């Protein structure tokens, strides 16, 4: 799977929007962009995924650049509970199973 | 519908002992994945199993580590003759056959004294 690059850490104020960037310049046409997050002392949890079009769900929005070389996870209104490590992961559509390769992720700190 | 269940949540072993970590996947899931997270580090893939088969064990250390997912019962990650460097959180995830998300358990935290 192709590599992603994320900032090590970001800070946000509570109740403000957060934009978490991810660069994936070597993405291939069949790579899906997945986001997971890991709250302190918990297992990772799925946030959102997309291929080409922007995606919205109850947790977040995913904005994908037109050339697909970057994407942004948007939390519309950060809460203290959103403090976590956010992982941007590329997953090839034809890979066996649903195995994911995690990078370093972005540690999001939310200030009250 | 219960999620992925891992036990024990915490396990303490002395050097040289064996550690057995169990994972029951979500109902209806037949694919299990084990990951290891060392303190202050990211998640590293270890092994991917389907019922009774190891599909990909490219992340498993060559010695002392083994995994199984029998026809009946939970998946088990077994670490023989543990050393202090094995101290970590071990996470299990499961999925169905179709492409989709992974569902993770809460992890088993192994401490080797």
Does B69 reach chain A within 8 Å, measured CB to CB? no
CA B68/CA B94 separation, integer angstroms: 14
CA A32 to CA A17: how far, in whole Å? 24
> How far apart are the C-alpha atoms of B97 and B38, rounded to whole Å?
29
Q: Is A13 left (phi over 0), alpha (psi -120 to 50) or beta?
A: beta
DSSP for B60-99, please give it: S-SSSEEEE--SSS-EEEEE-S--GGG-EEEEEEEE-SSS
Instruction: Name which residue leads in pLDDT, A69 or B41.
Output: A69
CB contact under 8 A, B101 and A49: yes
High-pLDDT (> 90) share of chain A, %:
81
Q: Which residue of A has its CA nearest to B48?
A: A99
Residues 9-48 (B) with a CB less than 8 A from some CB of A:
31, 33, 35, 42-45, 48
Considering only CA atoms, which of A70, A106, A99, A11 is closest in space to residue B47?
A99
Selecting from B56, B101, B103 the residue whose C-beta is nearest the C-beta of A99 gives B56
Closest alpha carbon within chain A to B45: A101
A7-26: average pLDDT = 96
**In B84-109, which positions are buried (b, 16+ CB within 10 angstroms) versus exposed (e)?**
eebbbbbbbbbbeeeeebbbbbbbbb
In the predicted structure, residue A62 carries a pLDDT above the cut 90: yes
Q: What are phi and psi of B83, to 5 degrees?
A: -120, 165
* B chain contacts of residue A47, beta-carbon cutoff 8 Å: none
Burial (0-12, 13-18, 19+ Cβ within 10 Å), B21: buried
Under the banding of pLDDT at 50, 70 and 90, the label for residue A95 is low
DSSP state at residue A81? G
Q: Count of H helices and E strands in chain B?
A: 0, 11
| Residue whose pair of structure tokens reads 């992925």 in the numeric block | B4
B100 vs B80: CA distance, rounded Å: 33
Residue-level pLDDT at B26:
94
Helix (H, G, I), strand (E, B) or coil at A80: helix
At residue B106's C-alpha, the angle toward residues B76 and B71, to 5°, is: 30
Per residue in A30-60, pLDDT (tens digit) is 899 999 999 999 999 999 999 999 999 999 9
Q: Give the residue from chain B lying closest to A106, CA to CA.
A: B42
List per-residue pLDDT tens for chain B, 113 residues long.
Answer: 579 999 999 999 999 999 999 999 999 899 999 999 998 888 999 999 998 899 999 999 999 999 999 999 999 999 999 999 999 999 999 998 877 889 999 999 999 99
According to the per-residue pLDDT averaged within each range, which of A11-25, A97-111, B37-51 is highest? A11-25
Q: CB distance B42–A42 less than 8 Å?
A: no
Task: Report the pLDDT value the prediction gives residue A2, as an integer from 0 to 100.
Answer: 67
Q: Which residues of A touch B106 (CB under 8 A)?
A: 42-43
Residue A43: closest C-alpha in chain B: B106
What residues of A are in contact with residue B93 (Cβ under 8 Å)? 43-44
Looking at residue A79, its pLDDT comes to 96
């Amino acid at each position: 799977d192709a590599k992603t690059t994320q900032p090590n850490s970001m800070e946000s104020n509570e109740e403000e929007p957060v934009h978490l960037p991810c660069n994936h310049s070597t993405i291939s046409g069949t790579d899906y962009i997945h986001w997971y997050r890991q709250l302190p002392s918990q297992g990772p949890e799925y946030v959102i995924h997309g291929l080409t079009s922007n995606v919205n769900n109850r947790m977040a929005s995913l904005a994908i650049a037109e050339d697909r070389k970057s994407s942004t996870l948007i939390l519309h209104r950060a809460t203290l509970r959103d403090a976590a490590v956010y992982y941007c992961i590329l997953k090839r559509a034809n890979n066996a199973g649903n195995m994911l390769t995690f990078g370093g992720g972005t540690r999001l700190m939310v200030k009250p | 519908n219960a999620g992925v269940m891992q036990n024990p949540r915490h396990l303490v072993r002395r050097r040289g002992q064996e550690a057995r970590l169990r994972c029951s996947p979500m109902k209806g899931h037949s694919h299990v994945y084990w990951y290891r997270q060392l303190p202050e580090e990211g998640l590293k893939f270890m092994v991917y199993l389907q019922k009774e088969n190891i599909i990909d064990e490219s992340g498993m250390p060559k010695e002392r580590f083994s995994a199984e997912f029998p026809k009946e019962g939970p998946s088990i990650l077994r670490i023989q003759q543990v050393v202090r460097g094995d101290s970590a959180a071990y996470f299990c995830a499961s999925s169905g056959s179709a492409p989709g998300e992974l569902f993770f358990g809460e992890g088993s935290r192994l401490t080797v004294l």
